[in-house]
Amino acid sequence: MIVVMKIGAKQEAIARVIETAEEIGFSAHIIEGKERVVVGLVGVDGQRDKMITMGEMDGVDKIIPISKPYKLSSREVKNEPTIVDCCGVLFGGEHIPVIAGPCSVESEEQTIKTAEFVKAAGASMLRGGAFKPRTSPYAFQGLAEEGLKILAKAREVTGLPVVTEVTNPKYVDMVYKYADMFQVGARNIQNFALLTELGKTDKPVLLKRGMSTTIEEFLTASEYILCEGNKNVILCERGLRTFETATRNTLDISAVPVIKAKSHLPIMIDPSHAAGHWQYVGPLSKAAVAIGADGLIIEVHPNPEKAWSDGAQSLTPTQFIELMGSLRSIALAVGRTI
């Protein structure tokens, strides 16, 4: 940690900083600048809270933490990319898997029909929500276990592995029984009880970035899963909350190269929730493939106008088939397959 003293800070203030630091267990290195003194502190882990408090001491301008709050997800700790395997579908390699399906599981017919369509179009996995975290309690909340059974049935019929959201730690076991991959939604990125529970399982976790989560916090949230022993984490960018309202969220496409530089975990893109309007889903998907995303998760509904949720951002099967064709050319252009 670096303690930046104010210009003209008194010798006693500097001495008191050093004394406090040494009490905690640091050794202090003084750098006398032209304007001000800077104190470098070396030597202790896990005292971040106490260190931060030093920023409030007399004569201190600010403190700057140097070590990162995440470790296991960091490229400094593990430099080769992690490839996550979900029933043979690989995330983080040359192939770019596309997960597709309806926002909500509404019925067996709707789900299986969509699953067959997206499989035919080249999707690698099926998505579908059985537990829906909705902003309003008056909106459709999902079919719960009945929905999970339908997803399992759709897998049986099509062979596509299945990912679905879990929102409550107490349902982790139930979802485990039916699904091949857990999804943590943007609203639960800091639901640490849930993350910890998922860290104790052995199935892959698709972890969506919250809409006001920094990349550093995103990687730190993934540590809750990794440090429990589950190494199968796939990150997913789905848009930030900004002042812009033309799209539902502002897709932070830069997160792809940034996360690839800082972490070894695969990073995918959810263009549907970012866009909020189906006509922007295709363009965002193309950008995602070009920039190097390790996967896509796209909402597809046989009849978006009748969808029980997120119809506005769902593609029809025909639109999805067309899009997959375009994505294949771009994947080829960047040396990958889809």
> Could you count the other beta carbons within 10 Å of the beta carbon of residue 157?
14
Minimal distance, residue 110 CB to a copy of itself, in Å = 14
Q: Which is nearer to a copy of itself, 159 or 257 (CB)?
A: 257
Q: Which is nearer to a copy of itself, 44 or 87 (CB)?
A: 44
Minimal distance, residue 157 CB to a copy of itself, in Å = 27
Minimal distance, residue 191 CB to a copy of itself, in Å = 6
Contact status, residue 79 vs residue 260, Cβ threshold 8 Å: no
Q: Which is nearer to a copy of itself, 202 or 246 (CB)?
A: 246
Minimal distance, residue 161 CB to a copy of itself, in Å = 26
Task: Collapse the DSSP code of 289 into the 3-class scheme (helix H, G, I; strand E, B; otherwise coil) and give the result.
Answer: helix
Minimal distance, residue 270 CB to a copy of itself, in Å = 13
Q: Which is nearer to a copy of itself, 113 or 140 (CB)?
A: 140
Task: Collapse the DSSP code of 60 into the 3-class scheme (helix H, G, I; strand E, B; otherwise coil) and give the result.
Answer: strand
Q: 14: closest CA among 36, 35, 34?
A: 36
Minimal distance, residue 70 CB to a copy of itself, in Å = 8
Minimal distance, residue 172 CB to a copy of itself, in Å = 11
Q: Which is nearer to a copy of itself, 69 or 159 (CB)?
A: 69
Q: Rounded to whole angstroms, what are the CA distances from 90 to 65, 84, 98, 147, 289?
A: 36, 6, 11, 25, 16
If you search the block for the tokens 């939604």, which residue do you land on? 185
Q: What distance in Å separates the CA atoms of residue 330 and residue 157, rounded to the nearest whole number?
A: 31
> Could you count the other beta carbons within 10 Å of the beta carbon of residue 43?
13
- Identify residue 316 by its one-letter amino acid code: T
Q: What distance in Å separates the CA atoms of residue 327 and residue 183, rounded to the nearest whole number?
A: 24
Contact status, residue 265 vs residue 215, Cβ threshold 8 Å: no
Q: Which is nearer to a copy of itself, 7 or 120 (CB)?
A: 7
DSSP single-letter state for residue 186:
G
The answer for residues whose C-beta is within 8 angstroms of residue 240's C-beta and 6 or more apart is 211, 212, 249, 250, 251, 252
Q: Which is nearer to a copy of itself, 88 or 305 (CB)?
A: 305
